[in-house]
Amino acid sequence: MKKINPPKKSPELIADWQTLQRIFIRPENDAAHATLLKYMDQILFGLHDFLKKNVGITEEISLKELSDSCKDTTISKNPEKKLADVITDLVKNIAPHAVNVASPYFIGHMTSAIPFFMVHLKTIVAALNQNVVKLETSKVVSIVEKQVLAKIHRLIYNKSEHFYDIHVQNTCTSLGAFVEGGTTANLTALWVARNSALGPKNGFAGVEKEGLPAAYNAYGIERAVILVSRRGHYSLRKSGGVLGIGNQNIIPMNVDEQQKIDTTSLQKMIREIKQKNNIKIIALVGIAGTTETGTVDPLRKLGEICAENGIHFHVDAAWGGPVLMSDKYRNFLDGIELADSVTIDGHKQFYMTMGCGMVYFKDPTRMDAIAYHANYVNRPGSVDLGIKSLAGSREATSLILDSALKIMGTNGYALLLEHGIETAKQFAEEIKRRPCFELVTPPMLNILTYRVCPPKMQEELKKDDENIKNLINKKLNAINRTVQRVQRETGKSFVSRTTLNIGNMPEGNVVVLRCAIMNPMTDMKIINKILDEQEEIYRSRFADDL
Ligand SMILES: Cc1ncc(COP(=O)(O)O)c(C=O)c1O
């Protein structure tokens, strides 16, 4: 069995001033230059050797062994290794035990292969090490960031040329912000929504300044709520906690058979809340690409409901937002331009490296509700992007997105997105063809769920007997949990699993296998192999149920 090698100790290494200075300056001669280049080569290509191997957490080395080898909690006083040894360690010992998310057989999560050039772009951003919190540590990079924000804003809202002329480099307005991911993008949008809904009035200085108890008092309410479909991402509940309204006030709304928010019960709920007079609706969240099923809510209808009722409309398009670049499928997101705010993740379907989320606002003055200033930085009227952002110091991920957009063009991205959507459709057809499987949620975008459900059990489920149905579902849940686990542990392919309510089953009762197709190398040949393997696992372990 392979083990993580114990760290090599080099007792002769000492921390001295001369060496310290050397690591901060450019290589002083050709030999040092060549060595540093060799390391970059090792990172780019050495790392790729591991990508050819297993895709997931395998039995070959258990998590227990891995954690046992990472228990030393001391920091050595003297240097332990040279850069060359550290890189070798990472490439040879860590990378092979990481998860090969770049494999076309890894189709279980929203993390996938990235174009090769992303590593180069990330390296440039690291080398420049700009801090976009303020102009004094970023200069042109802050200006470029405002331009990229305007490009994506235009993709969503398609406002007039005049609008973008006014706002693209306007130091007083903000079309959006780069953040760490979908979670902070949602939080930022709902922070703005909360501060607007409970803003200053009649001697009350606003919730941001005076806090929630004073705000509830000033507005004569007992609760503030946010409405979202029950397929909403859990980051919305986190936002409820962080914003102080309480995560139980992120109210999950019913969904229809297609997993879209049920607008009839939504409207009923809004009416009931309004009648009570002591609850404020801070926002309604529509989802463009739900995490579990890839469903897009009826955004236009939701936008209209929000407009009628004076509610902030936020669209969580962390997953589906980039589909706006596909002329063929952008209609799925019809109505997104009605949103007051929109979340999009760069590290999902913009295929960027980790740590890029974005939040956009239709009205470029809305982010004023979360502006903060300090004496030494972020002074009023400056270009400092940190004025309206939850994060302080942060990386210039906007440079990566801007460059990627130039390299790919919307047509390049559209090819990727359309491949995902169309392959997911074929995948669903294949599941329908195979008697051993049942399609649970057909793909709207590129996510689908299904389960192993052999014909005999499918017949039993058709019977009008709740007890039998529950019994069969229990058995199927155990089968599908096992199939997913064994496939993951075998390490050749990876699909994820979740629990859904289907038909009239109680919520969370049906275990399903979940796939997100975003790797351009994932084709039907690979998908058939993944399904074959699942069938094989099922047959070998549960043959009696056939
Ligand atoms: C719809 C949706 N919103 C928000 C998030 C949170 O994004 P992140 O993990 O980048 O914080 C996710 C993540 O999967 C998501 O699918």
CA-nearest residue, atom 4 of ligand 1? 182
Residue reference for tokens 């540093």: 36
Ligand 1, residue 320: give the atom nearest the CA. 1
User: How many angstroms separate the CA atoms of 25 and 27, rounded?
Assistant: 6
Q: For ligand 1, is residue 316 a contact (CB within 6 Å)?
A: yes
Q: What is the pLDDT of residue 33?
A: 83
Q: What is the pLDDT of residue 1?
A: 39
Measured in angstroms, how far is the CA atom of residue 335 from the centroid of ligand 1?
21
- Report whether 334 contacts 174 (CB < 8 A): no
DSSP conformation letters of 420-439: HHHHHHHHHHHHHH-TTEEE
Pocket test for ligand 1, best of 295, 319, 352 (most atoms within 8 A of CB): 319
Ligand 1, residue 184: give the atom nearest the CA. 11
Measured in angstroms, how far is the CA atom of residue 332 from the centroid of ligand 1?
19
Ranges of H-type helices in 52-103? 63-68, 83-89
Around Cβ 458, how many Cβ atoms within 10 Å?
15
Q: For ligand 1, is residue 318 a contact (CB within 6 Å)?
A: yes
The CATH number for 409-545, chosen from 3.90.1150.10, 3.10.20.310, 3.30.465.10, 3.10.105.10, is 3.90.1150.10
Measured in angstroms, how far is the CA atom of residue 183 from the centroid of ligand 1?
6
Q: For ligand 1, is residue 319 a contact (CB within 6 Å)?
A: yes
Q: For ligand 1, is residue 181 a contact (CB within 6 Å)?
A: yes
Q: For ligand 1, is residue 438 a contact (CB within 6 Å)?
A: no
User: How many angstroms separate the CA atoms of 85 and 378, rounded?
Assistant: 42
Please provide the CATH number assigned to the domain covering 178-199+206-376.
3.40.640.10
Measured in angstroms, how far is the CA atom of residue 233 from the centroid of ligand 1?
6
Q: For ligand 1, is residue 441 a contact (CB within 6 Å)?
A: no
CA-nearest residue, atom 6 of ligand 1? 182
DSSP, collapsed to helix, strand or coil, labels residue 111 as: coil
What is the pairing mode between strands 279-287 and 223-229? Answer: parallel
- Report whether 106 contacts 56 (CB < 8 A): yes
Ligand 1, residue 347: give the atom nearest the CA. 10
Q: In what order do the strands lie in the sheet with 447-452?
A: 437-441, 447-452, 510-516, 496-500
Around Cβ 526, how many Cβ atoms within 10 Å?
17
Domain with CATH 3.90.1150.10 in the chain: 409-545
DSSP, collapsed to helix, strand or coil, labels residue 385 as: helix
Measured in angstroms, how far is the CA atom of residue 439 from the centroid of ligand 1?
24
Measured in angstroms, how far is the CA atom of residue 543 from the centroid of ligand 1?
38
Measured in angstroms, how far is the CA atom of residue 272 from the centroid of ligand 1?
30
Q: What is the pLDDT of residue 383?
A: 81
Q: For ligand 1, is residue 110 a contact (CB within 6 Å)?
A: yes
- Report whether 514 contacts 495 (CB < 8 A): yes
- b/e per residue, 466-502, with b = 16+ CB within 10 A? eeebeebbeebbebbebbbebbbebbebbbbbeebeb
Bridge partner list, 255: 261
Q: What is the pLDDT of residue 508?
A: 57
Ligand 1, residue 182: give the atom nearest the CA. 7
Measured in angstroms, how far is the CA atom of residue 182 from the centroid of ligand 1?
5
Residues in the chain: 546
CA-nearest residue, atom 15 of ligand 1? 291
Domain with CATH 3.40.640.10 in the chain: 178-199+206-376
Nearest to 287 by CA among 235, 238, 244: 235
Q: For ligand 1, is residue 233 a contact (CB within 6 Å)?
A: yes
Q: What is the pLDDT of residue 540?
A: 94
State the 10-residue block means of pLDDT for the chain, 546 residues long: 54 82 78 84 72 67 89 93 86 85 93 93 95 91 97 98 97 96 98 98 96 98 97 97 98 94 97 95 98 97 98 98 98 98 98 97 97 80 86 96 98 98 98 97 96 94 86 94 94 94 67 97 97 97 71
Measured in angstroms, how far is the CA atom of residue 349 from the centroid of ligand 1?
11
Q: What is the pLDDT of residue 105?
A: 94
User: How many angstroms separate the CA atoms of 459 and 298, rounded?
Assistant: 34
Measured in angstroms, how far is the CA atom of residue 398 from the centroid of ligand 1?
19
Measured in angstroms, how far is the CA atom of residue 240 from the centroid of ligand 1?
15
Q: The whole model's pTM is what?
A: 0.94
Measured in angstroms, how far is the CA atom of residue 151 from the centroid of ligand 1?
22
Q: What are the backbone angles phi and psi of residue 511, rounded to the nearest 5°?
A: -80, 130
What is the pairing mode between strands 437-441 and 357-361? Answer: unpaired
7 CB contacts (<8 Å, ≥6 apart)? 80, 81, 89
Residue 505 has what DSSP assignment? P
Strand (E) or helix (H) holding 229: strand 223-229
User: How many angstroms separate the CA atoms of 223 and 206, rounded?
Assistant: 16
Ligand 1, residue 287: give the atom nearest the CA. 1
Q: For ligand 1, is residue 249 a contact (CB within 6 Å)?
A: no
CA-nearest residue, atom 16 of ligand 1? 291
Structure tokens belonging to residue 541: 């372990």
